[in-house]
Amino acid sequence: MVSDAIAQGDMQAVNYFIAQGYTDALKSIGQAENGKIVMLPLEASGLMGSVAGIAEMFKSDKAQS
């Protein structure tokens, strides 16, 4: 489903993978055993757009089912 959407140039599917990458990276940082302070240069509106895109993708998939 997602790979088909990416092949068709659907930016919501691309945003899904970007958001998933952010989530996986933050999870890895959080699980590290050494002490850490993390400062991320994060453009929050882009991340929120990715999350909104994921929600839209699931809404449209649910409507088609």
Please give the pLDDT value at position 51.
72
CA distance 1 to 37: 38
Please give the pLDDT value at position 1.
63
The two most distant CA atoms of the chain are separated, in Å, by 47
Please give the pLDDT value at position 11.
77
pLDDT in tens, 3-58: 777 777 777 777 777 888 888 887 887 788 876 776 666 666 666 677 777 777 77
Enumerate the domain spans of the chain: 2-64
End-to-end CA distance of the chain: 12
With cut-offs at 50, 70 and 90, classify the pLDDT of residue 61.
Answer: low
Q: What is the DSSP letter of 34?
A: S
- Residue 29 token pair: 């940082």
Q: What is the DSSP letter of 29?
A: H
- Residue 39 token pair: 């400062």
